[in-house]
């Protein structure tokens, strides 16, 4: 069964750091681009970052650029999100999602259940 399981969320003070992990199973992790998508309480979905299968291409939303770093370890079937200089507006459920497709025809087909990050003093 294809599965993504996020972990690492928690309560952190403004300005603090947190590292999220996403463990993949049931598919060849190294063949797929991966994404982080977040959802603030009561709000819609917001894309955070993407990383290609070999880490050659990495993209960030403007709202996190310079503060968050996406990475992956294909040997460990794991995706990461290092979050620094956290702000209250980063409070959200963070989902990892697998990306399929080719240029002009991308889609995210499998999502984890999410991990909750709360930034508060």
Partner 1 sequence: QSVLTQPPSVSEAPRQRVTISCSGSSSNIGNNAVNWYQQLPGKAPKLLIYYDDLLPSGVSDRFSGSKSGTSASLAISGLQSEDEADYYCAAWDDRLNGWVFGGGTKLTVL
74 versus 116: smaller Cβ distance to partner 1: 116
Query: What's the min distance (Å) between Cβ of 107 and partner 1?
Result: 4
Query: What's the min distance (Å) between Cβ of 40 and partner 1?
Result: 12
CA 48 distance to own-chain centroid: 7
> What residue ranges bind partner 1 (CB under 8 A)?
35, 37, 44-47, 50, 59-61, 95, 97, 101, 104-114
19 versus 113: smaller Cβ distance to partner 1: 113
Tell me if 48 sits within 8 A of 39, measured CB to CB: no
Tell me if 13 sits within 8 A of 38, measured CB to CB: no
Rounded Cα distance between 15 and 19, Å, is 14
Query: What's the min distance (Å) between Cβ of 95 and partner 1?
Result: 6
Take residue 48 and report the two structure tokens written for it.
């955070």
């Amino acid at each position: 069964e294809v599965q993504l399981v996020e972990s690492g969320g928690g309560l952190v003070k403004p300005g603090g750091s947190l590292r999220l992990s996403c463990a993949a199973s049931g598919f060849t992790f190294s063949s797929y681009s991966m994404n982080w998508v977040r959802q603030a309480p009561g709000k819609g979905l917001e894309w955070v970052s993407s990383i290609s299968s070999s880490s050659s291409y990495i993209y960030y939303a403007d709202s996190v650029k310079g503060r968050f770093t996406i990475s992956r370890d294909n040997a460990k079937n794991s995706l990461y999100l290092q979050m620094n200089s956290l702000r209250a507006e980063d409070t959200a459920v963070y989902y990892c999602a697998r990306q399929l497709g080719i240029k002009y025809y991308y889609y995210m087909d499998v999502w984890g259940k999410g991990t909750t990050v709360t930034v508060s003093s």
